[in-house]
């Protein structure tokens, strides 16, 4: 019998294994699953549109996120938010598990003349180790709710390592009562699956990110197809600030 657990990383890896093969969706091995997801660019997936999130645009327009500086886009997909950040004067790094998504994002960036640096891999693994902070903004549009409960430890550690003092952290995630699973954390381990993603309440987000200062937490606006921004009302949008 193997007795190989000697660190927190070993524990996290063991817990990842409980969700196999679903764990491929947040680890380095997940490239093939996400490549399949992004292979057909004509699929009616809401966030395939070449539009930035309405909350990101709004926070920038209102000065809640100061323009410029360095930004990291976690789980960037086809790059729609990374490109908008570059257009607003940010020096942008963007990371994703899928080479197919990154190829699409790269095409969009070249067409727009946006100097985004794209990184392939797991933000908590080798790709994350190659990211050099501090970042003035870390942005996550739809990555956090696909992580199992134990990987919040990795997520918070990434924020601690890479977010600058006074920097902003913003995310969109499934809203309870609208999208995703509302099971207690422990039940996911008995089921060995994430039920399509975790739904969060505002109170849960405030507890998880309690070391940060809340700036804004609201439902995302439901944007019409004619809008220049993306928005779906089944998502929360949150903006936090790291204390100086």
Give 102-129 pLDDT, tens digit per residue.
999 999 999 999 999 999 888 877 666 6
Per-residue model confidence (pLDDT) at position 42: 87
Inform me whether the pLDDT recorded for 186 exceeds 50.
yes
Per-residue model confidence (pLDDT) at position 33: 76
Give 15-35 pLDDT, tens digit per residue.
988 887 777 677 766 677 788
Per-residue model confidence (pLDDT) at position 158: 94
Give 48-57 pLDDT, tens digit per residue.
889 999 999 9
Inform me whether the pLDDT recorded for 1 exceeds 50.
no
The H or E element spanning position 18 is helix 8-18
Q: Write the burial class of residue 111 (CB in 10 Å: 0-12 exposed, 13-18 middle, 19+ buried).
A: exposed
Where is mean pLDDT largest: 4-13, 120-129, 185-194, 234-243? 234-243
DSSP code, position 33? H
Per-residue model confidence (pLDDT) at position 13: 87
Q: Residue 131 to residues 4, 44, 70, 134, 226: CA-CA distances in angstroms?
A: 28, 32, 12, 9, 36
Distance between CA 3 and CA 125 in Å, rounded? Answer: 23
Ramachandran angles phi, psi of 40, nearest 5°: -100, 100
User: For residue 108, what are its two tokens?
Assistant: 């969009």
Q: Average pLDDT over the chain, rounded to whole?
A: 91
Inform me whether the pLDDT recorded for 71 exceeds 60.
yes
Per-residue model confidence (pLDDT) at position 238: 98
The overall pTM is greater than 0.75: yes
Q: Are 5 and 11 in contact (CB under 8 A)?
A: yes
Straight-line distance from the first to the last Cα atom of the chain, in angstroms, rounded to the nearest whole number:
48
Give every CB contact of residue 156 below 8 A, 6+ residues apart in sequence: 208, 209, 211
Q: Can you tell me the mean pLDDT for 49-66? A: 97
Inform me whether the pLDDT recorded for 170 exceeds 80.
yes
Residue 77, phi-psi category: left (phi > 0), alpha (psi -120 to 50), beta (remainder): left
Inform me whether the pLDDT recorded for 5 exceeds 90.
no
Q: Can you tell me the mean pLDDT for 137-159? A: 95
């Amino acid at each position: 019998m193997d007795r190989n657990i000697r660190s927190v990383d070993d524990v996290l890896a063991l817990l990842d294994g409980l969700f196999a093969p679903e764990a491929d969706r947040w680890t380095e091995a997940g490239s093939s699953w996400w490549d399949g997801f992004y292979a057909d660019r004509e699929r009616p997936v809401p966030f395939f549109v070449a539009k930035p999130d309405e909350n990101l645009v709004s926070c920038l327009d209102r000065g809640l996120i100061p323009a410029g500086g360095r930004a990291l886009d976690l789980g960037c997909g086809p790059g729609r938010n990374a490109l908008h950040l570059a257009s607003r004067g940010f020096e942008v790094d963007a990371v994703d598990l899928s080479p197919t998504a990154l190829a699409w994002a790269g095409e969009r960036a070249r067409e727009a003349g946006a100097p985004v640096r794209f990184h392939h891999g797991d933000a908590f693994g080798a790709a994350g180790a190659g990211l050099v902070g501090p970042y003035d903004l870390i942005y996550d549009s739809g990555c956090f709710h696909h992580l199992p409960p134990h990987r919040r430890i990795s997520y918070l550690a990434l924020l601690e390592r890479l977010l600058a003092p006074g920097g902003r952290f913003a995310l969109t995630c499934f809203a309870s009562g609208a999208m995703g699973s509302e099971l207690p954390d422990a039940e996911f381990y008995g089921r060995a699956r994430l039920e399509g993603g975790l739904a969060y309440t505002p109170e849960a987000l405030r507890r998880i990110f309690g070391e940060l200062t809340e700036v804004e937490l609201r439902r995302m606006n439901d944007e019409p197809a004619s809008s220049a921004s993306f928005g779906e009302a089944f998502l929360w949008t949150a903006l936090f600030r790291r204390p100086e």
